[in-house]
Structure 1
Amino acid sequence: MPESATSKEGVAGGGAAPAPDPRRWQALGVCLVAGFMTLLDISIVNVALPSIRNGLRSPESDLQWVLSGYSLVFGLLLIPAGRLGDARGRREVFLAGLAVFTLASAACGAAPTSFWLVIARVIQGVGGALISPQISALIQQMFSGQERGRAFGMFSTVVGISTAVGPLLGGLLIQAAGPAEGWRWVFYVNLPLGVVCFLLARRLLPDTPSAGRVRPRDLDPIGVLLLGAGLLALLLPLVQEQQWPGNEKWLLLVVAAALLAAFVGWESGCGRRGTAPVLDVSLFRLHSYWLGCLLSLLYFAGFTSIFFISTLYLQAGLHCTALEAGLAITPFALGAAAAAGPGGRMVGRYGRPLVVVGLSMVVVGLGATAFAVHVVPGRGVAWAMAAPLLLAGVGSGLVIAPNLTLTLSQVPVVGGGSAGGTLQTGQRVGSAIGIAAVGSVFFAQLASEGWTTAFDLGLVVSVAFVMGALVVALADVAASRRARRHMSHPSDRERGRDEQPDRQ
């Protein structure tokens, strides 16, 4: 049993703070490797989709569920998993999540059918959701002061690297193992990392001193079920659009609206019942918070779906190799990783207008990508896409981190964990919705119009989501300017009241 980070008491003075765990940096390394794996599995699988399609003869809907299923379950369980770690012990929940994630990765790699793969990906999402919130909580537990800032900085770097190397690593694995079975190694690569992480985590991670019993109602299972069922009803007609003939499937949107309304009603009443909600509805009374969450949902719906259709177009439509496709979309991730740090530093000076600039760059970059598809013939388009995607990636780096800062700016410190978890949930849900909506348009056009037209129209839907986020950001900038003018110039009525004594 490892020693707790709080088990070593200082001897100088009766109220001395606990001595830091001497193994905290090794423990952080374990956390970072685990976080790298869970985030890598969001980006690396995109490059493998065409190989999965050919190897398992997967229908288009299953390809969408391979991505959406992971993102959706990951997002839905983030907040309950964080709460479970606080109550039952972060080390215990981290180990459970790591075991689930590693075993599910093995099941993904061994999948004999696409249905099997979808189920294994959903279970993999459960493991990822159990791991992710424990990492930030463990960093807060093990570090303090400047060390905590360094640790979070290292974690942010790992987030950027995992996104950047995913497409390239996936392309290299498929290139090495062959297009027929290479996609399996995209999942098998997690096995040695998972086993080593599990063994080291048992030895190095600290216990949670405050851990105890947890009541099921503290995890808000009814709220999770209502939200999950509502989102599933929303996604089903989009993902299954080609497989389910007739218009009756669109009635599920009414069911989705009813379930999501019931979810909001249930969450609003949690305070009266004395239970902790999976989503704190009171946070949405803060202007900066609800606006930032909406912007984040729309943006993640737009930019994550780009990778989905780009890899299919490049590999299946233009017959590029997985490595060429990975190299083509890597500039986006590299640009985002490079701009995230400066964006986080500049947001304090420029505020929401910085996000507007970033979103505008993304729109211009994606428009230039569509232009490159028509100007450059054949497989050469894979290289022509690199420069505009780099521009879009730099813009993305000026959106995500600054928007996170602005969204949480008015949230009280005591509610920071719940607010951050809700924001991440919105990002994952946005990703699932975007892949479903863009995939629906892409595959509907593919059958009748061909690859280029399908890619163009899919890109239009992606850009529409980003444009929606841009409209939200512009509306916030305009509202902020009106508020500043109102504060600096009293209204006519107020001036009238000020002048009234003079007239008398």
Structure 2
Amino acid sequence: MTSTGNADPRRWRALWICLVAGFMTLLDVSIVNVALPSMEHGIGATPADVSWVVSGYALTFGLALVPAGRLGDDYGRKRMFLLGLLLFVATSVLCGAAPGATWLVVARLCQGIAGGLLNPQVIGMIQQLFTGRERGKAFGLFGATVGLSTAVGPLLGGLLIQGIGMEQGWRYVFYVNLPIGLLAIAFGMRLLPHDERRGPRRSPDLLGTLLLGLAVVSVMLPLVEAEESTSTPRWWLMGVGAALLVLFVLWERRLGARGKHPLVNLKLLTVRSYSAGALLGMVYFAGFTGIFLVMTLFFQQGLGYSPLEAGCSLLAFAIGSAISPAIGGRIVHRFGRPLVVSGIVLVVLGLGATALLVGEYDGANAAFVLAGPLFVAGFGSGFVIAPNQTLALEEVPPAEGGTAAGVLQTGQRVGAAIGTALGGSLFFGQLTRSHGDYHSSAAHGLVGSVVLVGVALLVGLADVVMSARRRKPASPRPVVRGTVVGAPAAVTLTSLRTNRSQRAEVGEDGRFELPVEPGEYLVLASVPGREPAVRQVRVADGPVTADFAFEREVRLSGVVTGPAGPVPFARVEVLGPDGAARHTAVADEAGRYRVEGLPPGEYTVVAAGYAPTASPVRIEGRRTRHDPVFSGSR
């Protein structure tokens, strides 16, 4: 539980902008599947071409996630969000206007980079805008977005092709992003929170970015090739990827030990909730994503459904995955990881029943027969994706939210590539062995998904057991904890019942934690020279989160000049709105001065050395330059 007294009043409207953008990027993973025959018909694309249209997007999407998360954390999430959204809209138009297959593949690769740039900012924004139970609700809505985008893609793609035609219909699968994206950009510029840099500017970890990028490509490229019928997968690249990943970890540890800023803060992996959530998410996505390829092939090629009919046949899963995330987001803080485990159990039961019916039932109205178990699987999935995301990021500082989200989603993209490759391999392998039995082939593909989801269930159960053992030695005590970003701070906690106070200095990572008894408290975060921030919280029998964000400090600098040029050793005073002196500096022999540690705002700068000069200055951004000019004489 947490107070939201200092929360951004526009946070829910900003969330909807983030969800629209996230929906577009994830929709493009699945919507293209039903448009592949239209592409082959419209521009003469080969099977290898259309395979790269699907897999290339997933490859570059996964490649961009972690660097994009770091860019958002360091240079501003709003800036990176709008840039990614603009690039995504532009590349969507390029895809739709493609005159040939090569153009389309290249544009699709660029679109994947844009989607990878955009998506970590969505989760980082949720971390930044929401705390406590509200964060769970926000992630619940994000989980519904993930489930809907994956399941609705084939339906929407089929609808567009059915309405526009096989020749040109595939182009509008991409053009549909244009009006939505432009509206999201317009509202995002107004409603998204302004970027506030936290701490000094970081030098980019170029070598770490290169090592991780090569590792991701080396792991995912054989999986992409496995989906093509025209090439032999180079599985040896998996070993290269593993070696590069080891080098990446060693390099990141070295940077951290030397006090520099690595691409990924490896301390995140020591947070058990985060590492367990990342592993569970990767394995679950390996099972979850593969079912859409298998079921689309089964309905279209096996049963002769049109693209629209195939999309409608998966609607039950979409409905289930749209209902449950909102419920899960509200109760995840009460039940924790057991909620995720219960969701995985439902997915296993639903997919298991689907596999059984697909293999055994060969009567009419197969889509209606399969709707029940697909709904159960979709409903369970909504209890997995969003709650797991919430629990994984619960102990991650908001300042690291974008990078942490990038690592999580990279694992999910790798898992999705594994699941899709495995599902396709099982499906087509059995199709060859059975001489065209689509029922047994789809059943084999679904069984592979069930096995992978079962592995995710084991990961979740192991985490529940470890959590229970960890809690046994010490009796749980309620605590008030959180993060303070923007400046070094001290936190004071005062009981409203006893008026007793306790104080703690915030650590280097911005975190604090204070043990308390149940009751109501005032939490005061104070920074020297700043207006303190206060929140009132109610503590029951569990942890309470109170996060604070202070505006970053700005440097004011310039050169004091007069009629004869720079004025050495001039005295410069910075006055606040109340006329009181906030800072004083003396220029050097070249007239240069510098004042550190000013919060953004309106000031008056007074320079003395000739006839004094005073001028109003608005201080903002990371640095502000102001050059006082004397016009008189000494």
Q: Smaller-chain TM-score range? A: 0.7 to 0.9
Instruction: Structure 1: give runs of 5+ residues left out of the alignment.
Output: 1-16, 489-504
CA shift in 2, pair 1:482/1:89, >3 Å: closer
Match of 1:106 in 2: 93
- Residue by residue, what CA displacement relative to the aligned partner does 1:111-165 show, whole Å, maximum 9, x if unpaired? 3554543332221122222333344555677889999898777666655554554
Partner of 1:70: 57
What is the DSSP-based 3-state SS (H/G/I as helix, E as strand, rest coil) of the residue aligned with 2:32?
Answer: helix
Q: State the distance in 1 between where 2:216 and 2:84 align.
A: 23
Partner of 2:351: 366
Q: Given residue 388 of structure 2, which amino acid in structure 1 is its aligned partner?
A: N
Q: Which residue of 2 aligns with 1:287?
A: 272
* 1:461-483 residue CA offsets vs partner (Å, 9 max, x unmatched): 22222111112122223334444
Deviation at 1:105, TM superposition (A): 1.0
1-side partners of 2:67 and 2:89: how far apart?
Answer: 21
> Does the CA contact (< 8 Å) of 1:339 and 1:394 recur in 2?
yes
Size of the alignment, in residue pairs?
467
Asked which structure has the greater RCO (Cα within 8 Å, sep 6+), the reply is 1
The corresponding residue for 2:288 is 303
* RMSD (Å), alpha carbons: 3.6
Q: Do the aligned partners of 2:70 and 2:403 also contact (CA within 8 Å) in 1?
A: no
1:253 equivalent to 2:233? Answer no
Paired position in structure 1 for 2:31: 44
The alpha carbon displacement at 1:329 in A equals: 1.1
1:371, distance to aligned residue in structure 2 (A): 1.9
**Residue 189 of structure 1: CA displacement?**
0.8
Q: Which has the higher strand share?
A: 2
Counterpart of 2:315? 330
Match 1:353 to one of 321, 325, 338: 338
Deviation at 1:370, TM superposition (A): 1.6
Mapped to 1, the partners of 2:377 and 2:6 lie a distance apart of: 46
The 8 Å contact of residues 63 and 217 in structure 2, kept in 1 or not, is answered as: no
Give the C-alpha shift of residue 206 in structure 1: 6.0
Measured in 1, the distance between the counterparts of 2:93 and 2:356 equals 40
By how many angstroms is 1:392 displaced?
Answer: 0.5
- Distance in 2, matches of 1:323 and 1:302, equals 24
CA contact (8 A) 1:64 1:436 kept: no
Check whether the contact 1:314–1:379 (CA below 8 A) recurs between aligned residues: no
| CA deviation after TM superposition for structure 1 residue 351, in Å | 3.0
Q: Are the equivalent residues in 2 in contact too, given 1:442–1:455 (CA < 8 A)?
A: yes
Q: Secondary structure at the match of 1:240?
A: helix
In the TM superposition, what is the alpha-carbon distance from 1:383 to its structure 2 partner?
A: 2.6
The answer (yes or no) to whether the contact 2:155–2:311 under 8 Å persists in 1 is: yes
Which residue type is aligned with residue 45 of structure 1? V
Residues 1:133 and 1:318: Cα distance change in structure 2 (over 3 Å): same
Indicate the structure (1 or 2) with the bigger Cα radius of gyration: 2
Q: What amino acid is the match of 2:392? A: T
Q: 2:445 aligns with which of 458, 462, 480?
A: 458
Change (3 A) 1:284 1:212: closer
Letter in 2 for 1:307: F
Quote the offset at 1:279 in angstroms. 2.7
| Overall identity of the aligned pairs, in % | 53
> 1:277 aligns to what SS in structure 2?
coil
Alignment partner, residue 12 of structure 1: none
Could you tell me which amino acid in structure 1 is paired with residue 385 of structure 2?
A: I
Gaps in structure 2 of 5+ consecutive residues = 476-634
Q: Deviations over 1:50-93 (max 9, x none)?
A: 44455556555555543343234333323432432454444443
**Structure in which a larger fraction of residues adopt helix:** 1
- Show CA shifts across 1:270-303 (max 9, x none): 2134443333222222333222211110001111
| Correspondence for 1:169 | 156
Q: Within the alignment, does 1:471 sit opposite 2:441 as a pair? A: no
Aligned residue type for 1:302: G
Q: 2:110 aligned with 1:123, yes or no?
A: yes
Whether the aligned pair in 1 keeps the contact of 2:222 and 2:235 (CA below 8 Å) is: yes
Separation (CA, whole Å) in 2 of partners of 1:37 and 1:233: 27
CA distance in 2 between counterparts of 1:389 and 1:341 reads: 19
Alignment of 1:310-329 (within 5 A): 310-329=295-314
**Would the aligned equivalents of 1:230 and 1:257 in 2 still touch at CA under 8 Å?**
yes
Q: Out of 189, 204, 225, which is 2:176 matched to?
A: 189
Matches of 2:88 and 2:389, distance apart in 1: 27
**Rounded Cα–Cα distance in structure 2 between residues aligned with 1:314 and 1:113:** 29
**Using a 3 Å threshold, how does the CA distance of structure 1 residues 260 and 20 change in structure 2: closer, same or farther?**
closer
Matches within 5 A, 1:49-60: 49-52=36-39, 55=42
Q: What does residue 404 of structure 1 align with?
A: 389
Is 1:229 the equivalent of 2:208?
no
Q: Which range is displaced more, 430-439 or 147-156?
A: 147-156
Q: TM-score, with normalisation over the residues of structure 2?
A: 0.65
Match of 2:80 among 89, 93, 115: 93
Tell me if the contact between 1:93 and 1:131 (Cα under 8 Å) persists in the aligned partners. Answer: yes
The corresponding residue for 2:621 is: none
Deviations 1:87-106 (A, max 9, x none): 44444433322221112112
Once the 2 structures are TM-superposed, how far is the Cα of residue 226 of structure 1 from its aligned partner? 2.1
1:149-164 residue pairs with structure 2 within 5 A?
158=145, 161-163=148-150
Match of 2:617 in 1: none
1:377 aligns with 2:362: yes
Going from structure 1 to structure 2, the CA distance change for 1:477 and 1:112 (only over 3 Å counts) comes to same
Partner Cα separation in structure 2 for residue 85 and residue 193 of structure 1: 22
For 1:133 and 1:202, the matched residues in 2 are separated by 18
Task: Label 1:126 to 1:212 Cα distance change in 2 as closer, same or farther (>3 A).
Answer: farther
Distance 2:287 2:137 in 1: 32
Are the equivalent residues in 2 in contact too, given 1:89–1:212 (CA < 8 A)? no
Question: CA shift at 1:325, angstroms?
Answer: 1.0
Q: Which amino acid aligns with 1:184?
A: R
Give the distance between the partners of 1:423 and 1:319, measured in 2 at CA: 38
1:187 offset after TM fit, Å?
0.9
2:157 partner letter: G
Paired with 1:141 and 1:238, the residues of 2 have a C-alpha distance of 35
Q: Name the SS for the 1:438 alignment partner.
A: helix
Segment of structure 1 superposing worse, 294-303 or 339-348:
339-348
Q: Who is 1:419 aligned against?
A: 404
- Determine the structure 2 residue equivalent to 1:493: none
Deviation string 1:212-233 (CA, Å, 9 cap, x unpaired) is 9966x42x33323322322322
Q: 1:36 to 1:225 in 2, by over 3 A?
A: same
